[in-house]
Each structure stands twice: as structure tokens, then as C-alpha cells.
A and B are shown apart, each in its own frame.
Chain A
């Protein structure tokens, strides 16, 4: 079975602080894909990043960075110099290559609030 755990239910920071959202996953597949999505109050899930299990390089995109560590089954997401517009629910998701069909398995999400 696949499982994604986002232990942080809610995080509140002040603008310009750095914040890291944790994601831990479980899968028996050796090849899998990890995703982060942002869900603003409007409700639409916005794709942020996809990472393949065989590529452990970390990635940076502007103020966003992702730390993938296969040894600890973690795929953490850091926002540097947070802004009020970053306030949203963030979901980590897993899609194994071989099992569980084509579905995404999501974590419970982390509600991030960035205060001015």
C-alpha cells in the first residue's frame, strides 16, 4: 500500500521567514514519482513540481526548493522569504510506477498561513 504523511497540519509564519513543509512517503515500488501541489482558497490544485525516484538531485525554482532524500523517504519543500500570497494548503503526493494503478496518493495537506 502507498502512504503519504504530512505531519504538520498547520504552520503559521511571518512574512519573509523561511518555512519547510515535511513529506514522508511509503511505497514498495522501486520507481515512483513524487509531486507537490498548492491549493489556494479558490480550491484549484496547482502543480508545483514532479520528482522521479531515480533522480535525487535537489531542485530550486525561485523562492521554492525541494529536498528529496530516498534514504529517509522524504520529499520536503522549503519556501524562502515567504510572502502572504504563499498562504495555501500544500499537498505532497505519490504515484508508484507499477502498483496502485495510475492514481495519486495524497497526504493530508499542510495549511500554511503567512502573516504580514
Chain B
């Protein structure tokens, strides 16, 4: 079956531009996660949805970052007024149920470069 997909795979933005990153989770997966991965580092948690409800956004680094999942399926991570420090790979993951033992399956990521 289809895995998690993300688009675009690569995005180059000028500093100050707004960007929108899309995530299509595995069909039927209740939980959806966004992570940020800086070069040479492990992924770091940004935010978590259970269906359409954003249950945890404590990892969002600033109010320029905004995520939504209005119909409980596709999610969009938006970054306003991008800064150079926003350059990273943004990974989306989904899991089938709510329980914390459930495995998170990751997409290929969107590599964002802010010039």
C-alpha cells in the first residue's frame, strides 16, 4: 500500500517568503506528526494531530510556524516569513492508532532551503 507522501520534495525560498509543506498520511492513520531535521542531527518533534485535533504543538519553534489538518487526513505545515535558520528537512509521520506504542511511519521529507 501507499506510504506517507510529502510535497514538495525540495523547496527553495527567499528569506521572508511564506512556504507551505504538504503531508499525505497513510490512509486510515489517526495520528500525524511533524518533525524538523537539521543537517547532521536527529529529527526533532514539532507538532502532533489526532484526527483533526492538534493535541501538541509544543515543539513549534516560533509563532511563524503553523500546522493544520482540517479534515483529519492531509496536513499542511506553514512557515511564515522564512528565516535562514528554518532551513532543514521537514518530516511527516503517521501512525494507525492513538496508543503510544504504535509505530510512526515516515515520509521522504521536504528539504527546505532558505536563502
Hey, which bits of chain A sit against chain B, CB under 8 A?
A: 4, 33, 35, 37, 42-47, 50, 52, 91, 93, 95-97, 101-109
Contact = CB atoms under 8 A, between A and B. Distances in A.
Interface string B73-87: 000000000000000
B45 A43 contact: no
Given A50-B103, A102-B48, A102-B100, A43 B89 contact: yes
B42 interface: yes
Interface of B: 31, 33, 35, 40-45, 48, 55-56, 58-59, 89, 91, 93, 100-101, 103-109, 111
B55 A101 contact: yes
B104 A104 contact: yes
Given A43-B89, A43-B109, A103 B101 contact: no
Contact of A45 (B40, B43, B44, B48): B43
B101 A52 contact: yes
B103 A101 contact: no
B103 A102 contact: no
A110 to B, nearest CB: 10
A103 B109 contact: no
Contact of B42 (A43, A50, A52, A109): A109
B109 A44 contact: yes
B47 to A, nearest CB: 9
A44 B108 contact: yes
Given A4-B42, A43-B111, A104-B104, 10 more contacts: A37-B106, A47-B105, A50-B103, A91-B43, A97-B100, A97-B101, A101-B45, A103-B59, A104-B33, A104-B45
A44 B107 contact: yes
Contact of A103 (B40, B48, B107, B111): B48
- Across chains A and B, which 8 residue pairs bring their CB atoms closest together, nearest first? A106-B42, A103-B45, A45-B106, A101-B56, A44-B108, A43-B109, A33-B101, A106-B43
